[in-house]
A = this chain, B = another copy of it.
Amino acid sequence: MSSVATAVPLTARDSAVSRRLRITPSMCGQTSLFAGQIGDWAWDTVSRLCGTDVLTATNASGAPTYLAFYYFRIRGTPALHPGALRFGDTLDVTSKAYNFGSESVLTVHRICKTAEGGAPEADAFGHEELYEQPQPGRIYAETFNRWITRSDGKSNESLIKSSPVGFQYAHLPLLPDEYSPRRAYGDARARGTFHDVDSAEYRLTVDRFPLRYAVDVIRDVNGVGLIYFASYFSMVDWAIWQLARHQGRSEQAFLSRVVLDQQLCFLGNAALDTTFDIDVQHWERVGGGEELFNVKMREGAQGRDIAVATVKVRFDAASEGGRRG
């Protein structure tokens, strides 16, 4: 996965990247490990399509600038979901980038298991498939990122927008506005959940399950001393597991869950020596089946928003294939 900056003008053809890879132990078994891979693919996709080496990008002042994750979604089905990935699986991943101006970029990822000896799926991957006709047997991920720079060189709490020199985006396709992730995370930010709480399809079963989480300097840090975005997936899973265990679920039942959808919005930055106040909510689909967990993370006496996540799970749908071994 190497990428170099290019001086050649990019064109509309440069809007997709395909890769074939095998799942190794470092990529699966934990939501955060798989999300970390998707994050790497997002950065690599932008590096290849936008003429900017994301791993070493700097802004006009020469300061390092990071393509920070603001919104992250992963969808699956019982036929293929993150918890069903095993080392040795071969995947075909197609990633596309969309034009969101100079300060942001949306990348979307279609993840399929490769049939034995099979060729990559040759059909174009458009937003119609992603948003209107998702296929079973495929995982879809969306990553919406913004360029940020530490405003004072040290603190993690004050990060400012900062696009790198040479970031090309005008050639990327525009996403029809009705699909914009800004709608989803804007609503989630305002309401504290991605779930439509007025929906008659779901019944609220737990209104508030409060937790405290101390940020972990061992497991929550990335290579530049910020909280690693993928660690938020571990925190969200931890919060859901606390409630699921309280509800009487076993470790094995939890590990066998099928996660159908997880949406996570990163609303604020935090120092490493802090503790988050977490509230978990839970809904059940009327008639059984899917369950929804909402995880709200806040910090400090003012309750500054840190993250909101909504996760749709089935505990009753055995993963097709099951755990190897």
Contacts and interface: CB of A to CB of B under 8 A. Distances in A.
Interface of A: 1-3, 20-26, 28-33, 36-37, 39-40, 43-44, 53, 55-56, 64, 66, 85-88, 90, 150, 153, 216-219, 221-226, 228-230, 234, 237-238, 241, 251, 254-255, 272-273, 323-325
Contacts of A25: 36, 39-40, 43, 222-223, 228-230
A216 to B, nearest CB: 8
**Assembly of this chain: how many copies?**
2
A252 B255 CA distance: 34
A87 B223 contact: yes
A30 B224 contact: no
Nearest to A235: B218
Contacts of A216: 238
Given A55-B22, A55-B88, A224 B33 contact: no
Given A88-B53, A217-B255, A219-B219, A230 B26 contact: yes
Contacts of A55: 22-24, 87-88
Contact of A1 (B24, B36, B222, B323): B24
A228 B76 CA distance: 24
Contacts of A255: 217, 221, 225, 272
Nearest to A57: B88
Contact of A29 (B20, B228, B323): B228
A272 B228 CA distance: 25
Given A53-B88, A87-B222, A224-B325, 16 more contacts: A2-B21, A24-B44, A25-B39, A25-B222, A25-B230, A26-B26, A29-B223, A29-B224, A30-B221, A30-B228, A64-B324, A150-B325, A153-B325, A218-B238, A219-B238, A224-B324
